[in-house]
Amino acid sequence: MNDPKKRTQPGPGTKKTKSAHESGASKKPRKLFDQIIFRDWCKSCGICSAFCPENVIGRDQSGAPMIECPDNCIGCRFCELHCPDFAITIKERYTAPGRNRS
């Protein structure tokens, strides 16, 4: 029978490997996205800000959309897909290899 209190030790010739969590392999850099608003096409309907799950898009005093927290964008593209005027685009931010995102 298996005794949950009894621990088994690795046999000879086996070495303990670190888990993905211990080795840091599970830490992926978070993707960042750019939000581009085409002001000439936008009619300030507010749909983009209403659909944004992370509240990245707010509205200024005139009701026009404005990007409030650009690094909080998760790239879901809800704003882009629901905009009736195709006035907003979401693109993954490009970072050159070996460069830090600061």
What percentage of the chain exceeds 90 in pLDDT?
Answer: 60
The Cα 23–Cα 31 span in angstroms is: 21
Q: What is the pLDDT of residue 29?
A: 76
Q: What is the pLDDT of residue 60?
A: 94
H-run or E-run covering 44: none
Residue with tokens 């850099």: 29
* Mean per-residue pLDDT, 9-27: 54
Q: Is the pLDDT of residue 4 over 70?
A: no
Q: What is the pLDDT of residue 30?
A: 81
Answer yes or no: are the C-beta atoms of 29 and 86 closer than 8 Å.
no
Q: Which domains does the chain have, with CATH numbers?
A: 30-92 (3.30.70.20)
Q: Is the pLDDT of residue 12 over 70?
A: no
pLDDT in tens, 40-76: 999 999 999 999 999 999 999 999 999 999 999 999 9
The Cα 23–Cα 53 span in angstroms is: 32
